[in-house]
Structure 1
Amino acid sequence: MNWQVKYALANLSKETRSTGEHVEGDVIRIMTHDRPDVLAAITDAETVDLETAKQYGENTKGLDFLCGYRKECVWEGEAIRHLEDSRIGWGSFGTLGSAVLDGNANTASHKIYKFSDRLLRQYGRIARVDREFDRVHRVTLRSGAEFRIGMIAAYEPTADEVRSLWERFGAVDIAWNINPNGTPLPEARAAGRELGCEVMKWDELKVRLSKA
């Protein structure tokens, strides 16, 4: 049994409503009273790409959810689209835990980025959203203007977090602090200016897009 499966089962054992059992390989079954059983694969991948997503789906009949157990796990856009088209939920262990209790494991998506992804897709001035990674979206406005937007979930993003986003995912036009209670530090905004991007909250982002 791989380390991430052991940790997942150990954490499930602390829950009062759910229990888990090892099925095979990276796959576990989660049982919860008054909720459907959930067949979940627990991967230790640092990056979930399309090939990884396909392999898990093909190797496990009836898979409900693919869980990236590492905190730093990154999901590529093609992998996300494949999983969603296949009705397989995806995201962190926290996302899995919530989805099990909500009874929607097949349609769940990473809880850290779900609301922000929805905001972009529902904003009226945006004509197209292309999700390149779980936290990087390329949006095309109805005016034809295009922006590459990277999301930072930290409470108070630092200069290092802005630079790390840029270094890991490439150049972005906007670094969006998606934590609703947080505010980017002045040093983060300064780092953004040095790199050539703007660091902002949702209200600022809406204004920026409205003027493009």
Structure 2
Amino acid sequence: MNWQVRYALANIAKTAGRTKAEFVTGNLIRLSTEDQPDVLALISSDELIDEAVAKQYVNEFPDLDFICGYRTTCVWVGGAIEYLEARRVGWGNFGTLLSAALEGNANTASHKMYRFSSRILRQHRSVERTERKFDRIHRVFLKDGRTVTIGMVSEYEPTADAIRSLWEQFGPLDFVWNINPNGRPSFDALDAGRELGCEVLKWEELRERLSNA
């Protein structure tokens, strides 16, 4: 049994309440919640889940309901997200898996950290379409002809290092969106964004940028 599976089972036993879990094989577990469908979940220790990795898991386990990126540093590539969603396989972190098991929607669940923000971005009246490059990076095509790249950071008070790290890992950005509803970027983060050539914003500010040329 892999380390991530042992940790997942132990955490579910301690914290999940109505949800119980059992080891199946390899890195697969089954979650059972009263009055909800069982969830066959793959617990991955990958740092990066791209389309090739996602296809490998689905081909190996055709009955898979959910892939869990157990590491907090796990990054999901847009192609993997598109592939899994087309096949009704949920994806996200450990917290997403537990919520999905309780709510009975594991096959359609997506990473809870980015789910709401990604949805309101797609639904904004100025947006023609979005292209998801990574779980936290969107290429946004606006109805006025502009195209912008938006990165999401979830920290309560993003620091300059958080902004620089996002840029270094994922490439140039037009906007960095602090998606934590209760936080605000630090002054150092704002300065770091200006040095890199991007703006660090909350949703109210980003919404105005998307609406106005």
| Deviation string, structure 1 residues 11-60 (Cα, Å, up to 9, x no partner) | 11122211111111111111111110000000000000001100111101
* Equivalent residue, structure 1, for 2:159: 158
Question: For residue 149 of structure 1, what is the aligned residue in structure 2?
Answer: 150
Aligned runs of 1:132-211 on 2, under 5 Å? 132-211=133-212
C-alpha separation in 2, matches of 1:211 and 1:32: 47
SS in structure 2 opposite 1:70?
coil
CA deviations over 1:90-141 (Å, ceiling 9, x no partner)? 0000000000000000000000000000011110110010000000000010
Residue identity matched to 1:194: E
Match for 1:175: what amino acid?
A: V
Quick one: which amino acid aligns to residue 9 of structure 2?
L
Task: State the 4+ residue runs in structure 1 displaced beyond 3 angstroms.
Answer: none
Hey, what does 1:13 align to over in structure 2?
A: 13
- The equivalent residue for 1:4 is 4
CA separation in 2, counterparts of 1:144 and 1:61? 41
* TM-score of the two chains, using structure 1 as the length reference: 0.99
Q: TM-score, normalised by structure 2?
A: 0.98
The corresponding residue for 1:41 is 42
Range with greater deviation from structure 2 (157-166 or 15-24): 15-24
Tell me the distance in 2 between the aligned counterparts of 1:101 and 1:18.
Answer: 7
User: How far, CA to CA, are the matches of 1:209 and 1:140 in structure 2?
Assistant: 10
Number of residues paired by the alignment?
212
Q: Which residue of 1 aligns with 2:68?
A: 67
Secondary structure of 2:99's counterpart equals helix
What amino acid does structure 2 have at the position aligned with 1:58?
N
**Larger deviation, residues 62-71 vs 9-18:** 9-18
**2:85 counterpart of 1:87:** no
Structure 2 regions of 5+ residues with no counterpart? none
Alignment partner of 2:106: what SS?
coil
